[in-house]
Amino acid sequence: MAHKTEFLYLSERDTINAGVLDAAKCVDNAEEVFTLLSKGDYLMGGSNHNSHGLGLVFPKETPFPNMPVAGPDRRFVAMPAYLGGRFDVCGCKWYGSNAENPKKGLPRSVLTVTLNDKDTGEPLAFMSANLLSAARTGAVPGVAARHLARKDSEVVTILGCGQINRSCLRSILTQLPNVKKILCYDIFETAAEKFLAWEKEELGIDGKVVLDLEKAVRAADVITVAASRLKPLYVKDEWLKAGVTVLISGPMQTDDSFWMSTKLIYDNVGLHEAYVQDAIESGDRAEYYRGVIGGPIYTLIDEGKMPALKDSTSIGDVILGEKPGRENDSERVTFVACGMATFDVGLGYDLYQTALEKGIGTKLKLWDDPYQK
């Protein structure tokens, strides 16, 4: 019996037409994914079902002339996941990254997402995912802003004025209607100025470039961190005022006293436990921690200065009303997110469904009937 298999190809423009730039809807999608994470209705890679992904890391030296060697942010990563609930689908984000790409007119990372039938493994969709990945990355702190930030927040400080914080700001502002000013800080003044010009044109909120990190932090009601992994920022505890909400999507260094005094909410505790497990298995826990966003926190936990991860709070628990989030206006609340393929699959699924409904994309044929059965 013949079995025809087709899948939908979505170019970057197709994903735009399907709604990838609709920040409010992306936040709703991410919030739903968070509830599934806290319920346990998902799977990712590894024996713990929480592995961030499997990376291909290039060696520093090689005797083979065509084999790539290590360079800044140079790697390939596969991030598979199953997401339950109404999604009930498997998928994988695949990306290659190289800091040299912009010299070739390319983004630093080039990403795609594949969706597959959970039973047969047949492809359902293959799509451009640079905008998808940025949108879901921004939607995650957008959910945190919805549930953790003070609703009277007026000043948002941007630490790291790249594409990721553009997406973060879009999403955050859908949740905080009282924001009146955006402060832009970056180690490169031109990047901060470019971000400000974009923000004023697209989002229409007053703002300014602040080249003094301390001033940018002290003034903030909400801080979104998406700085370079190669040059993480150091933010002093004393700069962070009472009631501030810190949304961490990229590395940030700070005093131990801040980590130990802020209310910490994680994207998903299981993911962070998996990072610690990987660090232990690496044989050099300290070195591994230096490469991940939560590393400074894990170090304090290992030293017995902070509660164990198993006793910590995921934001899904807050959304479901099982654990408290912000409890008063003077609390300093910090949200730490490290990225999970479940969000790529969840948003990719909704883009796929919208594309089917609106006739967006191109149907491609895998086979009319498989040669081998």
| Secondary structure (DSSP) of 242-257 | TT-EEEESS-EEE-HH
Q: What is the CA radius of gyration of the chain?
A: 21
Start-to-end C-alpha separation, the chain:
10
Tokens representing 184? 């832009």
DSSP one-letter string for 151-187: TT--EEEEES-SHHHHHHHHHHHTT-TT--EEEEE-S
Phi/psi of residue 113, each to 5°?
A: -130, 135
Residue 228 reports pLDDT greater than 90: no
Cβ–Cβ < 8 Å for 69, 60: yes
What are the start-end ranges of the H helices in 220-311?
Answer: 256-261, 269-282, 285-289, 295-302
Q: For the chain, give the percent of residues with pLDDT over 70.
A: 99
Residue 230 reports pLDDT greater than 70: no
Which position has the higher pLDDT, 333 or 232? Answer: 333
Q: For domain 5-133+342-367, which CATH number applies: 2.40.30.10, 3.30.1780.10, 3.40.50.300, 3.30.465.10? A: 3.30.1780.10
Question: Please, where in the chain does CATH 3.40.50.720 lie?
Answer: 149-339
Question: Please, where in the chain does CATH 3.30.1780.10 lie?
Answer: 5-133+342-367
- Average pLDDT on 309-328 reads 96
Tokens representing 104? 């070739």
Residue 48 reports pLDDT greater than 90: no
CATH (residue range 149-339): 3.40.50.720
Residue 5 reports pLDDT greater than 70: yes
Cβ–Cβ < 8 Å for 135, 26: yes
What tens digit of pLDDT does each residue of 174-220 get? 999 999 999 999 999 999 999 999 999 999 999 999 999 999 999 99
Q: How many angstroms separate the CA atoms of 148 and 150, rounded?
A: 7
What are the start-end ranges of the H helices in 51-162?
Answer: 130-148
Phi/psi of residue 170, each to 5°?
A: -50, -50
What tens digit of pLDDT does each residue of 96-143 get? 999 899 999 999 899 999 999 999 999 999 999 999 999 999 999 999
User: Is residue 24 exposed (0-12), middle (13-18) or buried (19+ Cβ within 10 Å)?
Assistant: middle
Name the amino acid, one letter, at 50: N
Question: Per mean pLDDT, which range of 36-45, 47-56, 205-214, 317-326 is the poorest?
Answer: 47-56
